[in-house]
A and B are shown apart, each in its own frame.
Chain A
Amino acid sequence: MKRGLVLLLVVILAFSAFAKTKIVINSNASDPAPREAFKHVVDLFQEKYPDYEVVVNTFPHEDFKTLLRTWLNSKEAPDVVTWFAGERMRYFAEKGLLLPLDDVFSDMAFEDYFPGSFKSASEYDGKIYFLPFTWYWWSVYYNTEIFEKYGLTPPVTWSQFLHVCEVLKENGVTPITIGTKYLWPTGGWFDYLDMRVNGYDFHMDLTAGKIPYTDERVKKVFEYWKQLVDNGYFLENHSSYTWQDAASFLFRGEAAMYLMGQFIKDVAPAEVKDKLDFFRFPIIDGNVGVYEETPIDGFMIPAKAKNPEGAKEFIKFLASKEVQDMYSKELGRLAANKDVTPPDAHAKKGLDLVLASDGVAQFYDRDTDPEMATFGMNKFVEFMTFPQRLDVILKQLEFQRRKIFK
């Protein structure tokens, strides 16, 4: 009898030990290239830590966004999830749904791994909740073949930019492509125009809900945007297209420029990749500093993770130079780990662009409240379709801001 009990106990222990070694990762890296690269990361982890069994569940970006909340609240929470730095992470951290990562960095400080400027985007209330993995820059991607064909050089100032657009339009090429079906590409335009016109501090106050959208300075942002809309420089019927659909116009040479993150290279066909280059978003006011958008992607551990120890082990592995080097090389992204050098000339150029800037923002939907972001970006699309509605749109944005930021 006693022996039977002991045996039972051993079996239970064995099973629980077995169950403990499982690490469940829910990932939003659904485009083929990042998905493949992440698989290699996981394979390497399995090789080094054979005690763990890593299960990766990959979800399309948009589905992931809505599902994440359900996972964080459920008893069957995954052990590690991919997510975005800044407000998007803080929203969950302040509700106690995330596990602080401080003990991951017990032997080495956060700053020993990552640039100090990443800390504010990764912490909430003095604790680190977010592991920065890769980051990328935004800029105006353009088709070099088309620029050569019409003798154009990358514009530096706003008036040069308008000139480039005009030449392209005259030649029957859509100057700027954009796909607004999923709204967010409009956020890039708003952010850049606001940062170029009003600077970083203003932009941060605005996204934090401290400045009315009816402010004259906000209106000025839209007036620059309106110049492009009124002249018909944007892709027609942009709200029918996803961001990838719109990118194909650039790849096919039907459109010349696309304000987009570096990840546009993930979806570019091999024969087009080398024809893509980028330039800094044009300067509007020389007295305003130069700011860039550099969203940081990374990982978090849900507070209800079943295997927090395994999750931390995995997170620590992800922070290492070796892994970040491997992943960033494969995708041409910039690694968050500061000891990793840019993987190629393209990335080096991107890094230099960021290093030469006066500061960086995340992105509209990462810097402001999620509800405000959905509403705001819908209004941006509406503005791009009916620019004459600007005054009403600004009033509606302001009404929403007051409702959300009480």
Chain B
Amino acid sequence: MKKKWWIPYAFLALPLAMYLIWVIIPIFQTVIISFTDWDSVSPSYNFIGLENYKMLFYDYYFLTSLLNNIKWMVGFVIVAIPIGLGIAMLMDQKFKGNKFFKTMMYLPMTLSFVVIGEIWTWILEPNHGVINEFLRGIGLGNLAKPWLSDPNLVTYALIFAALWRQISYAMVLFLAGLQSVPTEQIEAAYVDGANSWQRFWYVILPALRPAMVIAITVNVIDSLRAFDIVFVITRGGPFYSSSVMANYMYIESFNNYNMGYGAAIAVIQFFITLGFIIWYLINSFKKEDNL
């Protein structure tokens, strides 16, 4: 039977068309809007060249938001990944109640960020919040802080709340990765006298490389996408000190009627994210070449 070359394309046509309408075209529209002064209400607008982008470099709030995104990224990579990996290693052992703990660890993943935001708003509340009440209860009242209204603390408090979910996500990725680590190799290492740390470092970790690349990429992209938790808990406040790019873009576009300026923020965010996606793709192609 002769294969018809166009069959896969016919099946792809509909999803591709949808992708074009809802993803590709809006991206180009956003880029175009970012060169205008459109206020999203008026029917007309002017092209103002790179003016929006120039303004971003002088905009203290944008730079704060960008810096906060970097803090999110660092937190997601250097905290969520090692802890996620550690928990995954632990959960990979066979012990009683293993399934139960796995499920519990996975539970935050099932909640939406909005719900998580609402929960943490209460946990972090300065007067009657769980954390501060707990600290006061065990006699560490001087550690009780206004987590959400201190501009120097608020971003870390939000990252902490987000990590609660992000760690369980990393755990799931590593648990899946651990399934693919060949047991013969571990056993061989054991026979050769490698201790458990050596087995982890020289056998398991290299085998987890694909899972690691995925986990880092996903976490970096998630940190750049950060929005929901910030929006629900602080709206970027107090005075933008916990703002992230997505949140600032939202406020500029939809609250302050600066659609052009907001679009410029979105474009910057897009290119930063794109950089990491390219890094991921290069890494995954490299892996295929090695095989």
B149 at interface by CB-CB < 8 Å: yes
B7 at interface by CB-CB < 8 Å: no
Question: Of A218-226, A237-245, A294-302, which stretch is located at the interface?
Answer: A237-245
Residues of A within 8 A of B40 (CB): 69, 73
Does the CB pair A385–B41 fall under 8 Å? no
Does the CB pair A239–B256 fall under 8 Å? no
Encode contact with B along A372-393: 1 for CB under 8 Å, 0 otherwise. Answer: 0011001101100100000000
Who on chain A is nearest to B40 by CB? Answer: A69
B92 at interface by CB-CB < 8 Å: no
Does the CB pair A385–B238 fall under 8 Å? yes
B42 at interface by CB-CB < 8 Å: yes
A346 at interface by CB-CB < 8 Å: no
Does the CB pair A180–B238 fall under 8 Å? yes
Q: A237 touches which one: B41, B43, B148, B235 (CB < 8 A)?
A: B148
Does the CB pair A374–B251 fall under 8 Å? yes
B106 at interface by CB-CB < 8 Å: no
B234 at interface by CB-CB < 8 Å: yes
Q: B146 touches which one: A66, A92, A183, A237 (CB < 8 A)?
A: A237
Does the CB pair A97–B41 fall under 8 Å? yes
Chain B residues 125 to 170 lying within 8 A of chain A, measured CB to CB, are: 125-127, 146-149, 151
Residues of B within 8 A of A385 (CB): 149, 151, 238-239
Residues of A within 8 A of B256 (CB): 370-371, 374-375
Residues of A within 8 A of B149 (CB): 237-240, 385
Does the CB pair A378–B237 fall under 8 Å? yes
Residues of A within 8 A of B41 (CB): 69, 72-73, 91-92, 95, 97
Q: A381 and B255 in contact (CB under 8 A), knowing A92-B41, A240-B126?
A: no
Does the CB pair B126–A237 fall under 8 Å? yes
Encode contact with A along B58-92: 1 for CB under 8 Å, 0 otherwise. Answer: 00000000000000000000000000000000000
Does the CB pair A236–B126 fall under 8 Å? yes
Residues of B within 8 A of A180 (CB): 237-238
Q: A66 and B255 in contact (CB under 8 A), knowing A73-B41, A382-B239?
A: yes
Number of chain B interface residues as a range: 20 to 34
B200 at interface by CB-CB < 8 Å: no
Does the CB pair A379–B258 fall under 8 Å? no
A-B CB contacts (within 8 Å), total count? 67
A181 at interface by CB-CB < 8 Å: yes
B280 at interface by CB-CB < 8 Å: no
Chain A residues 72 to 87 lying within 8 A of chain B, measured CB to CB, are: 72-73
B257 at interface by CB-CB < 8 Å: yes
Residues of A within 8 A of B235 (CB): 181-182
Closest chain B CB from A259 CB (angstroms) = 19
Closest chain B CB from A373 CB (angstroms) = 9
For the complex, give the distance between the alpha carbons of A183 and B147 in Å.
18
For the complex, give the distance between the alpha carbons of A92 and B41 in Å.
8
Residues of B within 8 A of A381 (CB): 237-239
B276 at interface by CB-CB < 8 Å: no
Residues of A within 8 A of B234 (CB): 181, 239
Does the CB pair B255–A374 fall under 8 Å? yes
B240 at interface by CB-CB < 8 Å: yes
A39 at interface by CB-CB < 8 Å: no
A65 at interface by CB-CB < 8 Å: yes
Closest chain B CB from A92 CB (angstroms) = 7
Q: B258 touches which one: A182, A371, A378 (CB < 8 A)?
A: A371
For the complex, give the distance between the alpha carbons of A385 and B251 in Å.
21
Does the CB pair B257–A181 fall under 8 Å? no
For the complex, give the distance between the alpha carbons of A406 and B240 in Å.
25
Does the CB pair A382–B257 fall under 8 Å? no
Of the A-B pairs whose beta carbons lie under 8 Å apart in the complex, a sample of 14, sorted by A's number, is: A66-B255, A69-B254, A95-B43, A97-B41, A180-B238, A182-B235, A183-B237, A236-B146, A370-B255, A374-B255, A378-B239, A378-B240, A385-B151, A385-B239
For the A-B complex with A65-B255, A91-B41, A237-B146 known, give 9 more contacts whose Cβ atoms are closer than 8 Å.
A66-B255, A69-B41, A180-B238, A237-B149, A370-B257, A371-B257, A374-B255, A378-B239, A381-B238
Residues in chain B within 8 A of chain A (CB atoms):
40-43, 124-127, 146-149, 151, 234-235, 237-240, 251, 254-258
Residues in chain A within 8 A of chain B (CB atoms):
65-66, 69, 72-73, 91-92, 95, 97, 180-183, 236-240, 370-371, 374-375, 378-379, 381-382, 385
